Amino acid sequence: MKEVLLINGPNLNLLGKREVDVYGETDLEEIKNKSIEKGNLLKIKIDFRQTNSEGEIINWIHEVNEKFDGLIMNPAGYTHTSISILDSLKSVKKPKVELHLSNIYNREEYRKKSLTSEGVHGIISGFGVNSYILAIEAINELIKNSIR
């Protein structure tokens, strides 16, 4: 069975409570359950994690080359600010997909630039909870086609 690390960045632990007009009412636990269910359908084990710490995200990214077949990440606020996360993404030689619940290109000006996207194969943005499902489908295709 393939294994994919799915990292969720800062404040995503508050989904369903914070800015529901932007991010929706679904909490992270429900997203986790849906993600694991989708992974099971595709024969992918999803290792679903969340942290508010940039350093922890970087350490997790460093695990990917040795332990996982691919990486999915919702970097949240670090999308627009973290060169350190970008640098760690560039070190990963496995398929990588970035996702966002909201359409970052249809938001505030400072959210329209994704630093982290320069270190991934593709971005899924603006489909709400379905962004997670689409990201799992995308990483599955990238792994099957051996995109590195």
Residues sharing a CB contact under 8 Å with residue 140, sequence separation 6 or more, in sequence order? 2, 42, 44
Q: Is the whole model's pTM more than 0.75, yes or no?
A: yes
* Model pLDDT, residue 147: 58
Mutual angle of helices 130-144 and 28-41, in 10-degree steps: 30
Q: Report pLDDT for 124.
A: 98
pLDDT in tens, the chain (148 residues): 999 999 999 999 987 776 666 566 788 999 999 999 999 999 999 999 999 999 999 999 999 999 999 999 999 989 988 999 999 999 999 999 999 998 887 766 656 578 999 999 999 999 999 999 999 999 999 999 975 5
Q: Report pLDDT for 138.
A: 98
Q: How high is the pLDDT of residue 106?
A: 72
The string of DSSP codes covering 87-111 is HHHHT--S-EEEEESS-GGGS-GGG
Options 62, 80, 100, 132, the catalytic residue: 100
Q: What is the pLDDT of residue 26?
A: 85
Catalytic residue among 23, 62, 105, 110: 23
User: What fold, for 2-144?
Assistant: Rossmann fold (3.40.50)
Active site residue 62: no
Report the pLDDT value the prediction gives residue 143, as an integer from 0 to 100. Answer: 97
Average pLDDT, the chain: 91
Is 121 among the catalytic positions?
Answer: no
pLDDT score of 19:
63
